[in-house]
């Protein structure tokens, strides 16, 4: 195994929180001609702030882009969900759910379908900084998003250079975004800050966490929305289902995640039929990684702060390096974890 890979793996297994390290790599080259000894140029290795995985530092020097993604059945299959670093699922009107997906370490050329913003989205997207993209929305909700420090890309206001209608999708579930171009246009913005703590590939192994074996996660957002996740040890990933069927993205691959974080949240109704997920304060939480689930609490100090996860023993709940889905399950719903 190359020295770079060995060193990077060792850093991940140590649970190191350092933003980056320099690894000095020297590879002998057989030759009959004597060469003067000298130091090799260091290779800068950083860790993706939204995945905890090693990456080239230069590849991470750009902002993240959060995009409001449709989850109506006519919007499926969505584009490039498996390339997102973090995906939030939230309750919207009619008992349906929508996603707020965040890409940074791997930004696709195109993502979608893109839909309108909701009142809780500023609290979800705010801690990432960078760019937020959505199709539009009620003016009050759009104003709330414009009040954040994020750069707003709004489909209703686009000149046709970033958003377009896909001919092979039914309207209004046909709006797609040129995500890589959107990042290039805003390349001067800083990268996102770290949102979660990362540990080893099996961060729930410590006996003090009392993690229980989990083969399936069943979630109920409403009578019409009840996604589930199955643990697949062959791919070391959680595989998603919706409406009792495997959930596929446009590539044909099953939607998957390394970590599933389930938060119980209050839902209020100050906007008539539009629900408001209250993502501030604290509540019950579960972290599911590697076929296990640990119980704890979540807390979020204010709109600009990330969600913090604390185990029942008071320690910090860590995720495995990789992609994460955050399920914002209403207190009126349910979450169950089958062994």
- For residues 320 and 203, the answer to whether their CB atoms sit within 8 Å is yes
Looking at the 3D structure of the chain, how many domains does it have? 3
Distances (CA, A) of 151 to 41, 65, 134, 199, 233: 37, 9, 11, 31, 39
| 3-class SS of residue 240 | strand
274 token code pair? 């539009």
Residue 147 lies in a domain: yes
The verdict on pTM exceeding 0.95 is: no
The pLDDT value given to residue 44:
73
Residue 52 lies in a domain: no
| 3-class SS of residue 44 | strand
- For residues 239 and 254, the answer to whether their CB atoms sit within 8 Å is yes
Whether residue 97 sits in one domain with residue 124: yes
Residue 89 lies in a domain: yes
114 phi and psi angles, rounded to 5 deg: -95, 135
Whether residue 333 sits in one domain with residue 215: yes
Q: Which residues of 317-326 are buried (b: 16+ CB within 10 A; e: fewer)?
A: bbbbbbbbbb
Whether residue 219 sits in one domain with residue 168: no
Whether residue 70 sits in one domain with residue 106: yes
The one-character DSSP state at 94 is G
Residue 75 lies in a domain: yes
Whether residue 296 sits in one domain with residue 213: yes
Residue 201 lies in a domain: no
264 token code pair? 């119980």
Residue 139 lies in a domain: yes
CA atoms within 13 A on the CB side of 324: 30
- For residues 286 and 296, the answer to whether their CB atoms sit within 8 Å is yes
| 3-class SS of residue 184 | helix
Whether residue 176 sits in one domain with residue 127: yes
Segments of the chain scoring below 50 in pLDDT: 1-38
- For residues 219 and 226, the answer to whether their CB atoms sit within 8 Å is yes
Whether residue 223 sits in one domain with residue 123: no
Pick from 326, 7, 23, 66: which is nearest to 196 by CA? 326
Whether residue 212 sits in one domain with residue 147: no
Neighbours of 216 (CB within 10 A): 14
Q: pLDDT, tens digit, for every residue of 109-129?
A: 999 999 999 999 999 999 999
Looking at residue 260, which CATH number applies to its domain? 3.50.90.10
Pick from 3, 111, 4, 110: which is nearest to 55 by CA? 4
Whether residue 321 sits in one domain with residue 232: yes
The one-character DSSP state at 156 is G
The pLDDT value given to residue 45:
74
| 3-class SS of residue 5 | helix
Residue 190 lies in a domain: no
Question: Which of 128, 152, 185 lies at the terminal end of a domain, its last residue?
Answer: 185
Whether residue 161 sits in one domain with residue 40: no
Residue 60 lies in a domain: no
**Structural domain range at position 91:** 65-185
**51/339 Cα distance (integer angstroms):** 26
Whether residue 227 sits in one domain with residue 141: no
Instruction: List, in sequence order, every residue forming a beta bridge with 327; answer none if it has no partner.
Output: 89, 262
**259/43 Cα distance (integer angstroms):** 29
Whether residue 175 sits in one domain with residue 108: yes
**148/132 Cα distance (integer angstroms):** 10
């Amino acid at each position: 195994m190359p020295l770079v890979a060995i060193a990077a793996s060792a850093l991940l297994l140590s649970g190191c929180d350092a933003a980056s390290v320099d690894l000095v790599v020297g590879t002998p080259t057989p030759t009959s001609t004597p060469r003067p000894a000298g130091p090799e140029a260091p290779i800068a290795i950083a860790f993706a702030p939204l995945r905890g995985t090693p990456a080239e530092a230069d590849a991470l020097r750009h902002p993240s882009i959060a995009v409001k993604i449709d989850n109506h059945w006519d919007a499926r299959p969505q584009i490039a969900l498996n390339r997102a670093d973090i995906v939030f699922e939230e309750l919207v009107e009619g008992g349906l759910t929508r996603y707020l997906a965040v890409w940074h370490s791997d930004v696709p050329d195109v993502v979608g379908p893109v839909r309108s913003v909701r009142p809780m989205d500023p609290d979800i997207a705010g801690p990432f900084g960078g760019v937020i993209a959505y199709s539009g929305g009620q003016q009050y909700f759009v104003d709330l998003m414009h009040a954040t420090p994020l750069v707003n890309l709004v489909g209703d206001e686009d000149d046709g250079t970033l958003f377009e209608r896909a001919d092979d999708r039914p309207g209004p579930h046909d709006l797609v975004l040129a995500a890589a171009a959107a990042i290039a246009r805003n390349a001067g913005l800083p990268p996102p800050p770290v949102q979660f703590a990362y540990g080893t590939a099996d961060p729930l192994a410590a006996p003090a966490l009392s993690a229980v074996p989990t083969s399936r996660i069943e979630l109920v957002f409403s009578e019409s929305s009840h996604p589930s996740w199955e643990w697949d040890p062959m791919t070391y990933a959680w595989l998603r289902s919706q409406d009792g069927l495997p959930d596929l993205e446009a590539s044909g691959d099953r939607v998957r995640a390394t970590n599933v974080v389930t938060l119980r949240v209050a839902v209020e109704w100050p906007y008539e039929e539009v629900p408001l997920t209250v993502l501030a304060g604290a509540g019950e939480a579960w972290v599911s990684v590697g076929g296990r689930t640990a119980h704890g609490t979540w807390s979020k100090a204010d709109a600009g702060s990330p969600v913090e996860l604390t185990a029942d023993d008071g320690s910090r709940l860590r995720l495995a390096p990789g992609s994460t889905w955050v399920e914002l399950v209403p207190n009126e719903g349910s979450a169950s974890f089958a062994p």
